[in-house]
Structure 1
Amino acid sequence: MLFNTPQFFWFFAIFFVLYNFVFTSHKKQLWLLLASSLVFYGAWNYAFIPLLVFSALSDYVIAGFVERNNHDPVTKKRWLMLSIFINLSVLGIFKYSNFVLQSTQDFIGLFGVDAHISTLSIILPVGISFYTFQSMSYTIDVYRGNMKAHRGFLTFLSALSFFPQLVAGPILRAQHILPQLDNLPIPTMANIRNGLMLIMLGLIKKTMADMMAGPASSAFDATTPISSLDAWVGALAFSAQIYGDFSGYTDIAIGIALLMGFHIPINFNLPYFSSSPVDFWRRWHISLSSWLRDYLYISVGGNRNGNRTRNVFITMLLGGLWHGAAWTFVIWGAWHGFIISVTHWLTYSAIGRWVDARNNWLVRIFKVLVTFYLVVIGWVFFRATGFDNAWTMLTQMHMSTGVEASASSLVVLGLVVTGLVFMHLIDWLNIRFGSALNERSWLMWPILVVGFSLFLVVGDPGHDFIYFQF
């Protein structure tokens, strides 16, 4: 059940009426929220529900044992390791089994052995990467003493299955969502106006992202050589597509939660305006980058003992693998680990100090453009169907292919760049003026009516969101 479909509109409309006007007690609202979340999740495949419940039950029980063994560090750590083992095993079986089998077969084939390893008929449960990380981090937080183990399984399961963010994030921390479920918030008119605005912006960005899919596919799926300009158009189009698609989904998720009175942290903050790769990861998929920092990077050593470069590289490699069971995602993660490490080195080098001393607007624009270029190179691996496809795209982007670009390619390039800038512009306007606009309901309601009307006319509902595959 996609956010951008009539089915979800009716699903949420019925839920909204029942939640706010029929089921008024805390317990009834909580049961309704849980039931609705499971129906929403089951719309993809009801067979996935037991796995979600199992993940929640495992960490709910284990976190309780972790807390009860605070006096015994050894036993306490064993319970934590059990949680990590269960969560990573579930993720590994459902997401990475066939990747490991195929990679093993390919490796054996390097030695001339014709191995035939059968792959498994496993369907990847929607959102498994998101709710597994969310569930596991709860137990880690209890282990670290950052929070108390929660006593209500109904509330904990409702947190893990919270339908606005269940299938593609943001990855919520237990400390953030559980207190809201313990004291269910009542949506204000300001919440509703702000929520509708975010939903409208998200739908607009999703519509624009879908328009970018065509130029991106034309370049990446080309069976014959294309011009350098067309290759760049394809890479830039995918950069725009993935931003509009994922940030659009996040806006809709945050907006839906606001209609219920819940507050979900932002997941994007104008990422293509970043001045360095480090800055990019402070602005892109913020819930994942902060999760990797707090639960992986720090756990493997962080900045201690001069091992920052190694630990950054490990973190980004695994972050790439989290996105998908393919070597292209591993390379994408390695690329970001490399450019982040180089950024750290440059920051403390003579070059970095020289640049910082001349940090005027021209230097800042230059840093933004260089960072964007590096990010686009990474997106080539992210989008490519394989290493050969990525290499072909990169060589066509940077070397003459002997193919002349058509005049229409310049038009498409202009449209892609315009779309990319426009999506960031509406985000900037919302950040800068959203609160002030919300206070002027006489102006905001007409904007919402026009925005949703445009989506109904121009939008093509039903296209999957890219991050659903993760």
Structure 2
Amino acid sequence: MIFHSLDFVVFFLLVTAVYWRLPHGGQNWLLLVASYVFYGWFEPWFCILLGGTTLVDWWVALRMDPDPSRSADAFAHPSPSERVARRRWLLGSLVSNLAVLGTFKYFDFFVGSVQSGLGALGIEASLPLLKLALPVGISFYTFQSLSYTIDVYRGRLRACRSLRDFALFVSFFPQLVAGPIERAEALVPRVLAPRVFNLVVARDALVLMAWGFFKKLVIADNVGIIANRVFAMKDPGFEMLWAGVFAFGVQIYADFSAYTDIARGSARWLGFDLMKNFDHPYLAVSPSDFWRRWHISLSSWFRDYLYIPLGGSRHGLPRTLANVFITFLLSGLWHGAAWNFVLWGAYHGLLLVIERVWGAIRGLGRHPGRHRLPIWRALPQWALMFVLVHVGWLLFREGDAAMLWRDVTLVPGTAPLAERQAGYYLALIALSFSLPLWAHSLWTLWQGRSYSDRPAVREADVPTSTVAWQAVAVGVMFATILVLRSRTSLDFIYFAF
């Protein structure tokens, strides 16, 4: 079931119509059943894998934390023998989860790569491929569930005794398929706590969902048509290609952030506050600044569960650079079983390595990207970073090595004049569709925070003018959707990951 479908609208209205009439336990049962219906809408057998992941990690956590009466301090400081036992249980969780993920997502990729490598050496080989369908969202919920068992192993989190409540944490439908990748320490307490309807939060949630639908149906799908047509061309010129790359940059941000906004809005309507996943990434002025703004839930996951365990920045510059590069190489592989994603991850890892080395040379410390810059320096750095990010999007989007080599060797001004003009025209169209994104970023900077970050307040504290503006904003966005929405509906890009 996809967000921008009539099926989801009817589904969500039915769930919410019943949800707030139930006691807390009934709400959790309803959300759990609804989440499996939502996921099974894609393919019913996907629910078997989701349920298997849930059962394994719930059981493993209970084995690591068998005594609920034990004090939190004693649990956080286990004996050496207990730590060894926990490590064995954690290893079981890691092996089972990564084996399932590897089988469905990466087996054919690695076998195919080995076969191609042998062929390049003149060795004929016909290796078996599984050709399994990739379950939607498997990378997201696998990482979310793994973060839970790792935190229990570390003693930071007590095991959830209720299978129902843990299953809801893993399968919560607003963020199940494409995130944000939530942490158990943030989401499980919301599952366990009673939830009361708040009209102010519900209105904010509606605005956030409307903004998400607007970004998906008006911006992402329209510029996505441009990007798809350019990348389908047999021999685009330099100007046409980079118009397509810019269009894809607009598309992927509008598309992915739209999913996040709809997910966060629908979760807020149900009494849950999901983490922020984007913070205006195209305003970034450095590679590290970009990754503090883009797909925040994934970048923080890799930081906490891979980069820091590898040693982080605690063992000198060479080790730090290696840890950064390895982390982003695997982050690229997480996105997809293809070499262009690995190359994209390596590219961003290299940018961060260069930033760290440059920061060390200039004596800026461990986090050179966090220094506030005067406007006269920030603007050139922003422009450079914007270009570098879009070079990365070319690597991300172009899945064929021969076509990528063609793309990077194009020379500006060599295409026929009519094609160059068409490229400029398409870039202007993509820019015009992106203007609401830029306006929203600048408005948020001016206001200090957006409606998506506003804490819950009492109904009496909200001025009537705010309510009126919210109603106008929602009305304008839905009217614009009716007029300008793309007639070609595209899937969310991150559904493929």
TM range (shorter): over 0.9
| Contact residue 129 and residue 322 of structure 1 kept, 8 A | yes
State the partner residue of 2:232. 221
Write the distance in 2 (CA, Å) between the matches of 1:458 and 1:266: 28
Partner AA of 1:13 in structure 2: L
Q: CA deviation at 1:48?
A: 0.5
Q: How does 1:27-426 map to 2 (within 5 A)?
A: 27-68=25-66, 70-71=78-79, 72-207=82-217, 208-224=219-235, 226-306=236-316, 307-350=319-362, 359-396=373-410, 399-404=412-417, 405-426=419-440
Question: Which stretch shifts more, 92-101 or 113-122?
Answer: 113-122
| Contact residue 138 and residue 174 of structure 1 kept, 8 A | yes
TM-score, reference length from structure 2:
0.89
Q: CA deviation at 1:351?
A: 9.4
What is the CA deviation profile of residues 127-151 of structure 1, one whole-angstrom value per residue up to 9, with x for unaligned ones? 0000000001101001111111111
SS across alignment from 1:198: helix
| Contact residue 289 and residue 369 of structure 2 kept, 8 A | no
> Aligned pair in 2 of structure 1 residues 34, 356: CA closer, same or farther (>3 Å)?
closer
Question: Which stretch shifts more, 206-215 or 322-331?
Answer: 206-215
Write the distance in 2 (CA, Å) between the matches of 1:222 and 1:408: 13
Q: Percent identity?
A: 39
Write the distance in 1 (CA, Å) between the matches of 2:344 and 2:115: 23
Gaps of 5+ in 2: 67-74, 455-460
Partner AA of 2:321 in structure 1: T
Q: Does 1:7 align with 2:7?
A: yes
Write the distance in 1 (CA, Å) between the matches of 2:372 and 2:349: 27
Q: Does 1:455 align with 2:481?
A: yes
Write the distance in 1 (CA, Å) between the matches of 2:155 and 2:255: 37
Question: Which stretch shifts more, 152-161 or 402-411?
Answer: 402-411
Q: CA deviation at 1:401?
A: 3.9
Q: Does 1:466 align with 2:489?
A: no
Write the distance in 2 (CA, Å) between the matches of 1:128 and 1:358: 38
Partner AA of 1:88 in structure 2: L
> Aligned pair in 2 of structure 1 residues 363, 251: CA closer, same or farther (>3 Å)?
same
Q: CA deviation at 1:40?
A: 0.4
| Contact residue 287 and residue 369 of structure 2 kept, 8 A | no
Question: Which stretch shifts more, 108-117 or 235-244?
Answer: 108-117
Write the distance in 1 (CA, Å) between the matches of 2:185 and 2:371: 41
> Aligned pair in 2 of structure 1 residues 298, 157: CA closer, same or farther (>3 Å)?
same
Partner AA of 2:440 in structure 1: I
C-alpha RMSD of the superposition: 2.2
> Aligned pair in 2 of structure 1 residues 88, 358: CA closer, same or farther (>3 Å)?
closer
What is the CA deviation profile of residues 319-353 of structure 1, one whole-angstrom value per residue up to 9, with x for unaligned ones? 00000000100000000000001011112324979
> Aligned pair in 2 of structure 1 residues 29, 358: CA closer, same or farther (>3 Å)?
closer
Partner AA of 1:195 in structure 2: A
> Aligned pair in 2 of structure 1 residues 388, 438: CA closer, same or farther (>3 Å)?
farther
Write the distance in 2 (CA, Å) between the matches of 1:145 and 1:163: 28
State the partner residue of 1:20. 20
Kindly tell me the number of residue pairs found equivalent between the two proteins: 466
Question: Which stretch shifts more, 403-412 or 338-347?
Answer: 403-412
Q: CA deviation at 1:403?
A: 3.7
Partner AA of 2:434 in structure 1: L
| Contact residue 201 and residue 268 of structure 2 kept, 8 A | yes
| Contact residue 328 and residue 349 of structure 2 kept, 8 A | yes
TM-score, reference length from structure 1:
0.94
> Aligned pair in 2 of structure 1 residues 351, 239: CA closer, same or farther (>3 Å)?
farther
Gaps of 5+ in 1: none
Q: CA deviation at 1:428?
A: 4.3
Q: CA deviation at 1:392?
A: 1.8
| Contact residue 220 and residue 389 of structure 1 kept, 8 A | no
